Chains A and B, each alone.
Chain A
Amino acid sequence: MTALLEVEDLTVRFHTEAGVVTAVDGLSYRVEAGETFGVVGESGAGKSVTALSVLGLIDDPGRIEGGEVRFKGEDLLSMDESERRSVRGDQIGLVFQDARAALNPAYTVGEQIAETIEHHLGYDPSAARDRAIRLLDRVGIAEAETRYSDHPHEFSGGMCQRAGIAMALSCDPDLVVADEPTTALDVTVQARVLDLLAELADEFDVAVQLVTHDLGVIAGTCDRAMVMYAGEAVETAPTEELYYDPKHPYTAGLLGSIPRLGDDADRLSTIPGTPPDPTDPPPGCRFHPRCPFAEEACTRTAPALVDPETGEPATLDGDRAAACLEYTQGLSGGLEYSVEVVDETDGRDGGGPDE
């Protein structure tokens, strides 16, 4: 049986004046119906591009140059634009990072939700309005009926994101792609919005592809997760395993940089160095300049995504995969880090690599 969403060998390039940027390079993953799948990585890793590619929303100068995005077995990329449009918003909802920017300031919040409903479900205006009000109410907007006629600038950031979630769910989709849905929000609001998202995913029986740079977010909400680095997947695993047994040095590095609640240190800054120049990625393993375990071989051979147990190439329906030479040819020094569980009750806290 095929998964709800199967992305295979997706390659997206941006043709900029500075050169060709390969934002997503041969990426493959799957999202099962009803599950919550996390995509995590630093900014520039290609997470958001991946999210937009799923909906075919890559604009000039970007281009999807290869691969397939199969939704319920059908390739969205080879559909024509109008077929794709009937999927967007209807069967796949998108939640944006900056919810206010994703709302048109000229129209009321309610109108914009109702507009989608009218368009996809063929509701008449008053029925669409009723449904939109119910949704607003469901996502926790008080006095939804009056708030229906408010313009986006009259909503708080958290309310905007709730409305954004309502909009994504407005046509009963099977999949919601949430692109950093909490990044722009206050820390206190973040948790509530995430809880809401999880709750609704459950209630509506909808799969979620949750894009975030925050491993902590993954821990609380996702069933499985994929770690991206410089446009490639470096590790895929069920969330538990990712935390307790990270197979890729980068994942391990990310775990070391999870901020505690209230910790305002720069996130992800504890991995030394910076992500590679996207127009000129390093040869071999893209992570090697920052990898404490990198060896000479890493600078020459690009590691394939394999099952870390067997060393066999990863498949779409496999649960674990990692891209490190350790699992194919072995590194002379091995990967010497371990996970130390600090507090079992708080899944958001994780251990860092040992010294």
Chain B
Amino acid sequence: MSLRRFVLRRALSVVPVLFGVSAITFGLFHLTPGDPVSQLVALNPDVSAAEEARLRERWGLSGPVWRQYLAWLSNVLVGDFGRELRTGRAVSAIVWRRLPETVVLGLFGWTFAIAIAIPAGIYAAVHEGRLGDVASRVLALSGVSVPNFWLGLVLILVFSLYLGVFPVLPPSRLPLYHPETLRYLLLPGVTIGTAAAASVTRVLRTAMVEELNEEYVTAARARGLPERTVVFKHALRNSLVSVVTLAATLTAGIVAGSVVVESVFNWPGLGSEFVQAIDRREVNVVMAITLVTAVAVVIANFLADVLYAALDPRIGYD
């Protein structure tokens, strides 16, 4: 089976997963007592009962739950996540405005994680048991253990308040896609990427140590290949398989981490919106963000599967 067909088939198999995710998301918010309308009424007792019924009708909140779900889903499929309760503004606009911010931050976090973890993991594996290895393992363990809100606050404390090299707040007027944004991405990106960097370092090191003990590595050396070819071309390629498997899980971690990190760094992405939306009890916003992030995680898993298959020829495409 060709790679293209494999990708296509895996892509199709994601569809039922997405439906499941949407059903769970919807269920979580609608099986809990108090629908958005009654919450709106609680916030604003001035809404008349007639208006309440009208709102229920308009927001697809009347009738049995499955019908409500279908109504919601059909709106979601065309990109309509409903409206904010307090302001009546379209939720999709909020999501689309904030999504790129989170994507950029997440990608930066990933880039940072990879940029640190790949060299560190390789270094530790090649110097297995020596000082550099021990140091990198201690650092990686701390990286995994440190909660990112704490790390974020410490980074702000040290780099923004004590050293004064980075601002606390992101630039409000700078366009997102501007070289200078990098400066503001650094602290939140490092914060969000640290846990991933640490996990990847650990996993890569373990995998690499294992691969370096494989006979094909000795064989490659016996063929007189330079050590960097042996390590980077031969051992690394096979070690990356386990990193890719981990990456899908870590993407979920980065998405979850964005909730805290964006709040700490005031980054105007989905994560900080999520916190505020919960605070304001904006069910539609919370639901939309939950769904979007769930979809992102599903897509990340899908990409990991594809990458996994591309990296390891032993994995059949069928």
Contacts and interface: CB of A to CB of B under 8 A. Distances in A.
Is there direct touching of A and B in the complex, by C-beta distance under 8 Å?
yes
B314 to A, nearest CB: 5
B313 A101 contact: no
A104 B313 contact: no
A106 B237 contact: yes
Interface string A85-110: 11111100010101001111111000
Nearest to A98: B215
B281 to A, nearest CB: 52
B3 to A, nearest CB: 14
Per DSSP, chain A at the interface is loop
Contacts of A88: 221-224
Given A151-B314, A153-B314, A102 B216 contact: yes
B218 interface: yes
Contact of A106 (B218, B222, B226, B312): B312
B229 to A, nearest CB: 8
B225 A116 contact: yes
Given A85-B226, A87-B224, A89-B224, A105 B314 contact: yes
A120 B216 contact: no
B25 interface: no
B219 A94 contact: yes
A119 interface: yes
Interface residues of A, number: 29
Contacts of A57: 218, 221-222
A47 to B, nearest CB: 16
Interface string B203-230: 0000000000011101111111111010
Given A57-B218, A94-B219, A105 B224 contact: no
B224 A120 contact: yes
A65 interface: no
Interface of A: 52, 55, 57, 59-60, 81, 85-90, 94, 96, 98, 101-107, 115-116, 119-120, 151, 153, 167
16 contacts: A59-B218, A86-B224, A88-B221, A89-B224, A96-B215, A104-B219, A104-B234, A105-B238, A105-B314, A106-B312, A107-B234, A119-B224, A119-B229, A151-B314, A153-B313, A153-B314
